[in-house]
Amino acid sequence: MKKHYLLTPGPALIPEEVTDAMAKPIIHHRTQGYRDIVKTANENLKKIFKTENNVLTFTSSGTGAMEASIANTLSAGDTAIIVRGGKFGERFAEICESYGVTAVPLDIEWGTAPDPAKVGRALEENPTAKAVFMQLCETSTATVYDIKAVAEVVGKTNAILVVDAISGLGADEFEMDKWNVDIAIGGSQKAFMLPPGLSFCAVSKKAWDLIKKSTLPKYYYDFNKYEKLAGKSDSPWTPAITLVIGLAKALSMITEKGVDNFIKSHVSDAEFLRGSVKKLGLELFSKSPSNAVTAIKVPEGLDGAKLTSSLKTKGVTVAGGQAHLKGKIIRIAHMGAITQKDLEFALGKLKEALKEQNLKV
Amino acid sequence: MKKHYLLTPGPALIPEEVTDAMAKPIIHHRTQGYRDIVKTANENLKKIFKTENNVLTFTSSGTGAMEASIANTLSAGDTAIIVRGGKFGERFAEICESYGVTAVPLDIEWGTAPDPAKVGRALEENPTAKAVFMQLCETSTATVYDIKAVAEVVGKTNAILVVDAISGLGADEFEMDKWNVDIAIGGSQKAFMLPPGLSFCAVSKKAWDLIKKSTLPKYYYDFNKYEKLAGKSDSPWTPAITLVIGLAKALSMITEKGVDNFIKSHVSDAEFLRGSVKKLGLELFSKSPSNAVTAIKVPEGLDGAKLTSSLKTKGVTVAGGQAHLKGKIIRIAHMGAITQKDLEFALGKLKEALKEQNLKV
């Protein structure tokens, strides 16, 4: 059977054991059997988020959880600081605008990480700001942000720090409790090795205090409704049962290996890919590259779209650039079940594709 | 292999062909291959909803789509009429309250259907009401509502008619366009024969006119974002890829059989179950029974919870009652892939369980 090289930053590869778990006859969610599965999954989710807080699970894409982090904490007319260094930073700002929240953008060059001191200055200049929103890994630029340093700055104020860790979690180092992150957001189709359809929010005490004052409307994503049932391993609405069963399986695989070892394997895969890319004479796009995904500059004169479609005909699916980076970068993921062997195969095909394109240029 | 008799009104049984389709290696959603699958699914969705309108697909539980139908059409301070004859009627009212919309409840006895003339009167008494919200099948009471007759009444006013058809669609007769329904809501874990995780909204021209004036905040569920991409078989956020692939498979199975034949098989299964239940000397709870699920009164002196757990030990999972019906009814679903043979098996076990309980009483 031909191997399937899906090396995009979500969806990522799904191990057979997880697929098998999801293919079992479906069970009802208001049963002890299902609750036992959720209980184990919830305990293991905490290990990935490195937190003692409950991790709330939603049936939605990651964007739903991003919206939830705003709708649950803020009120119309509030101010929030948004680190905007890519498509997902922009998304936070757009959601704020939809909700009548004033988004103060902290714009940074795409492919760079924010200077923590600048976040501090933005908070000084906007002393009423209730929250800072930023990514752990800005997927569109394959850039990791220094959450630990920013959290130190935000922690000295009344504002909460909300981190979209959707593509970074499990791949880039992340410590919710130790670093004092207030809301951490995850998504299933990344290092979790699952199909898309689940998103997660872990919520700190400081965030809960703000949530009490929030007047923005919410129902489906109302954190209170989920938190109330978290202790009973239950959920307010019918959950995506098969995905949650897959989640339990994937998390047991990750925690058996150990979360820190899981992250270490991402570090070594990412280092391997970055080194190999440079050996090919190519440049990395990001000045602060993530361990979840690598962005490679498309050499001057080459067409990025042609490169990705050429790779596709060779059996390797990678992502192109988004917005103004369209055609200018390609992104290769190394999250979850993707191995160094997969990356080696992709590199071989990339070399072939480049040769073919160079001949044409 | 022991057969699995999951006869609850969601999740319902999933055919093997659908499970197999979902277990194939995951593909990326921004590819022509995936869009082709979505295109076929979207065309077949229209056949189930009996509409020429686009059917928008969300990654969420049905409750998310119920909230979307409110957040997209109304503004704070608006008035809406809610038919409240069970748990899901109540849910519409709760969502309205969360959004600052005045919910005028039209309370009816649980297990009965609303009198269309009373909906007309409520609209006369509340001439500013922008919408009427009701169920096709109120799952908590297994009761089908006469949407056609209510739609005639609502159609004479400026208000839109929003129908939560989540548990009824595919089982109870429903004609979105012919009857003039403005928003029809569906959910994957019912007659669609899928796991939970997808919800649907079909939206009429009259509803779109109201949507233009709506000022309630929304982002993830913003109908405009989905409608804009519907023609391209694309979606604004990462979709629940595996569930959508299962959807395409399930819909092709349903439409090959013919939607009307599919509904007819539900009618005959429901009639069979209702007749058999009466032969056992039991009473139906609903005065307007649905073809998706049947509610049976637990005989005086018996404990409904004991009955459902006794059935469970015999290999049959059915649902109990919710809220004040807890312990007083049991609900047996006959939606989607559930066959008359499955119902016969369940009836045999019900007979056994009743005998055992009677001995104890």
- Convert the pLDDT of each residue in B164-193 to its tens digit: 999 999 999 999 999 999 999 999 999 999
Query: What pLDDT band is residue B2 in, cutting at 50, 70 and 90?
Result: low
Q: Where in chain A is the domain with CATH 3.40.640.10?
A: 16-256
In whole angstroms, give the CA distance from residue B219 to residue B212: 15
Residue type, A262: F
Does pLDDT of B358 surpass 80? no
Q: Which pLDDT score, from 0 to 100, does residue B361 have?
A: 42
Is the Cβ–Cβ distance between B129 and B119 less than 8 Å? no
Would you call A238 and B61 a contact, using CB atoms and an 8 Å cutoff?
yes
Would you call A6 and B13 a contact, using CB atoms and an 8 Å cutoff?
no
Q: Which of A11, A49, A32 is nearest to A177 (CA)?
A: A49
In whole angstroms, give the CA distance from residue A321 to residue B24: 27
| Minimal C-alpha gap between B329 and chain A (Å) | 17
In whole angstroms, give the CA distance from residue B190 to residue A234: 20
Would you call A195 and B71 a contact, using CB atoms and an 8 Å cutoff?
no
In whole angstroms, give the CA distance from residue A84 to residue A81: 9
Is the Cβ–Cβ distance between B9 and A29 less than 8 Å? no
The two structure tokens encoding residue B311: 């059935």
Is the Cβ–Cβ distance between B333 and B150 less than 8 Å? no
Would you call A241 and B95 a contact, using CB atoms and an 8 Å cutoff?
no
**What values do phi and psi take at A273, rounded to 5?**
-65, -45
3-state SS, residue B182: coil
- Length reported for chain A: 361
CA distances from B164 to A89, A176, B82, B208 (A): 35, 39, 11, 17
In whole angstroms, give the CA distance from residue A323 to residue A321: 7
Closest by Cβ to B197, choosing from A63, A99, A197: A197
DSSP B344: H
Pick the CATH number of B5-11+258-360 from 1.10.540.10, 3.90.1150.10, 2.60.40.10, 3.30.70.260: 3.90.1150.10
Residues 192-221 of A with CB under 8 A from B: 195-197, 216-220
Tell me the pLDDT of chain A (361 aa) as tens digits. Answer: 457 799 999 999 999 999 999 999 999 999 999 999 999 999 999 999 999 999 999 999 999 999 999 999 999 999 999 999 999 999 999 999 999 999 999 999 999 999 999 999 999 999 999 999 999 999 999 999 999 999 999 999 999 999 999 999 999 999 999 999 999 999 999 999 999 999 999 999 999 999 999 999 999 999 999 999 999 999 999 999 999 999 999 999 999 999 999 999 999 999 999 999 999 999 999 999 999 999 999 999 898 999 999 999 999 999 999 999 999 999 999 999 999 999 999 999 999 999 988 755 4
Tell me, yes or no, if A186 comes closer than 8 A to chain B by beta carbon.
no
| Minimal C-alpha gap between A3 and chain B (Å) | 10
pTM of the model: 0.97
Q: Where are the alpha helices (DSSP H) in chain B?
A: 16-22, 32-49, 62-71, 87-98, 116-125, 147-155, 176-179, 205-211, 223-230, 241-257, 259-279, 304-313, 340-360
Query: What pLDDT band is residue B307 in, cutting at 50, 70 and 90?
Result: very high
| Minimal C-alpha gap between B147 and chain A (Å) | 25
DSSP B172: B
Buried b (16+ CB within 10 A) or exposed e, B264-298: ebbeebbeebbebbeeeebebbbebbbbbbbbbbb
* pLDDT, tens digit (0-9, with 9 covering 90-100), for B278-287: 999 999 999 9
Q: Which of B134, B128, B78 is nearest to B106 (CA)?
A: B134
**What values do phi and psi take at B44, rounded to 5?**
-75, -30
CA distances from B246 to A15, A23, B121 (A): 19, 11, 43
* pLDDT, tens digit (0-9, with 9 covering 90-100), for B76-130: 999 999 999 999 999 999 999 999 999 999 999 999 999 999 999 999 999 999 9
| Minimal C-alpha gap between B69 and chain A (Å) | 12
Taking residue B32's Cβ as centre, other Cβ atoms within 10 Å add up to 9
| Minimal C-alpha gap between A68 and chain B (Å) | 9
In whole angstroms, give the CA distance from residue B22 to residue B193: 12
Residues of chain B in contact with residue A242, where contact means CB-CB under 8 angstroms, are: 22, 195, 197
Is the Cβ–Cβ distance between B98 and A217 less than 8 Å? yes
Of the CA atoms within 13 Å of residue B243, those in its CB half-sphere come to: 32
Tell me, yes or no, if A28 comes closer than 8 A to chain B by beta carbon.
yes
Burial label, A233 (beta-carbon count in 10 A; 0-12, 13-18, 19+): middle
Q: Which of B242, B243, B312 to mutate to test the interface with A (most CBs of A within 10 A)?
A: B242
CATH architecture of the domain A16-256 equals 3-Layer(aba) Sandwich (3.40)
| Minimal C-alpha gap between A122 and chain B (Å) | 26
| Beta strand pairing call for B55-59 and B198-203 | antiparallel
Q: Give the CA diameter of chain A.
A: 63
Helix (H) / strand (E) containing A112? none
In whole angstroms, give the CA distance from residue A108 to residue A119: 11
Tell me, yes or no, if A71 comes closer than 8 A to chain B by beta carbon.
yes
Rg (CA), chain A: 20
Q: Where in chain B is the domain with CATH 3.90.1150.10?
A: 5-11+258-360
CA distances from B165 to B51, B68, B300 (A): 14, 14, 32
Residues 262-281 of A with CB under 8 A from B: none
In whole angstroms, give the CA distance from residue B338 to residue B319: 15
Of the CA atoms within 13 Å of residue B17, those in its CB half-sphere come to: 10
Residue type, A284: L
Residue indicated by tokens 């260094």: A85
Residue B104 pairs in a beta bridge with B81
Q: What is the ipTM of this complex?
A: 0.97
Residue indicated by tokens 């922690």: A155
Helix axes A147-154, A116-125, angle to 10 degrees: 30
3-state SS, residue B229: helix
**What values do phi and psi take at B276, rounded to 5?**
-65, -40
The two structure tokens encoding residue A336: 């979850």
Residue type, A27: I
Closest by Cβ to A197, choosing from B59, B94, B217: B59
Residue A91 contacts by C-beta under 8 Å, 6 or more apart in sequence? A63, A66
| Beta strand pairing call for A160-164 and A131-135 | parallel
Closest by Cβ to B238, choosing from A4, A61, A241: A61
Q: 3-state secondary structure string, B240-268?
A: CHHHHHHHHHHHHHHHHHCHHHHHHHHHH
CA B319 to chain centre: 15
